[in-house]
């Protein structure tokens, strides 16, 4: 079965996931996290991709980003991935692949799902029971979005900026969104869209993406299972 082409449309956010091969560790030290963040900042600027939210876990990465061009995200991730693999292999005297194939991504309806997706990303360390609160995890954009700490990498989306006129009011409103956990159905929607390369949004958004991209962005419904063929009863054929 041929894989679907990746959707990358200018000015439409994307949720991006990059995992270590076979879930192996791809960040083994604080220096590794810092190196990845440095090159992500460098190449996001080079390829004109705004990074709104991120989390660097030990064996995978989540990003929420908006490209200015159709190939911006792909060029950023490919260059970043190759550069980081060379660094990681040299540092740990290893060879071979580090990442699990190509990165996964889905387009995101900014009006309805951008802040939900940011919460999903920044709550990763909490769901993994690594910390009790998102602000306790250093390698996450919550430090900027929720606590107001300066982060060169962070370029807030207009939806986030509309939460308040000042940094204090915005971060307070943003932290209030984390009062409850994300519903299981929302988690499923985000994961399904991201892993299948579909669209995360309402039906109107999906129809618009299909019109712009020329391909489907919703998972195909499974048809009914075929009934097993009944064996001929040879006794009645004699």
Task: Examine the pLDDT at 160 and tell me if it is beyond 90.
Answer: yes
Task: Examine the pLDDT at 111 and tell me if it is beyond 80.
Answer: yes
Percentage of the chain modeled with pLDDT above 70: 90
Give counts: helices (H), strands (E), the chain: 9, 5
Q: What is each CA distance from 217 to 162, 181, 201, 214, in whole angstroms?
A: 28, 27, 10, 9
pLDDT value, residue 228 = 55
pLDDT value, residue 221 = 58
pLDDT value, residue 233 = 45
pLDDT value, residue 212 = 87
pLDDT value, residue 101 = 85
Strand order in the sheet with 60-67: 49-56, 60-67, 14-19, 104-108, 199-200
pLDDT value, residue 234 = 41
| 16 burial via Cβ count (<10 Å: 0-12, 13-18, 19+) | buried
Task: Examine the pLDDT at 65 and tell me if it is beyond 80.
Answer: yes
Residue 4's pLDDT band, with cuts at 50, 70 and 90, is low
Using one digit for the tens of pLDDT, what is the confidence trace for 165-204?
Answer: 999 999 999 999 999 888 999 999 999 999 988 899 999 9
């Amino acid at each position: 079965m041929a894989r679907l082409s990746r959707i990358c449309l200018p000015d439409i956010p994307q949720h991006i996931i990059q995992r270590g091969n076979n879930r192996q560790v791809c960040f083994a030290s604080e220096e590794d996290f810092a190196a990845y963040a440095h090159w992500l900042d460098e190449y996001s600027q080079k390829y004109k991709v705004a990074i709104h939210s991120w989390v660097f876990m030990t064996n995978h990465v989540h990003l929420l980003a908006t490209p200015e061009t159709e190939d911006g995200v792909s060029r950023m991730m490919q260059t970043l991935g190759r550069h980081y693999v060379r660094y990681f292999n040299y540092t740990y005297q290893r060879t071979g692949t580090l990442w699990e194939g190509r990165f996964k991504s889905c387009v995101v309806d900014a009006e309805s799902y951008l802040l939900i997706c940011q919460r999903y990303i920044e709550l990763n360390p909490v769901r993994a029971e690594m910390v009790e609160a998102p602000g306790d995890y250093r390698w996450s954009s919550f430090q900027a979005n929720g606590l107001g700490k300066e982060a060169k990498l962070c370029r807030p989306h207009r939806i986030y900026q509309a939460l308040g006129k000042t940094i204090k009011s915005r971060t307070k409103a943003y932290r209030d969104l984390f009062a409850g956990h994300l519903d299981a159905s929302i988690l499923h929607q985000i994961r399904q869209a991201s892993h299948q390369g579909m669209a995360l949004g309402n039906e109107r958004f999906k129809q618009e993406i299909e019109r712009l991209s020329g391909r489907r962005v919703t998972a195909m419904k499974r048809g009914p299972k075929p009934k097993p063929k009944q064996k001929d009863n040879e006794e009645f054929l004699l």
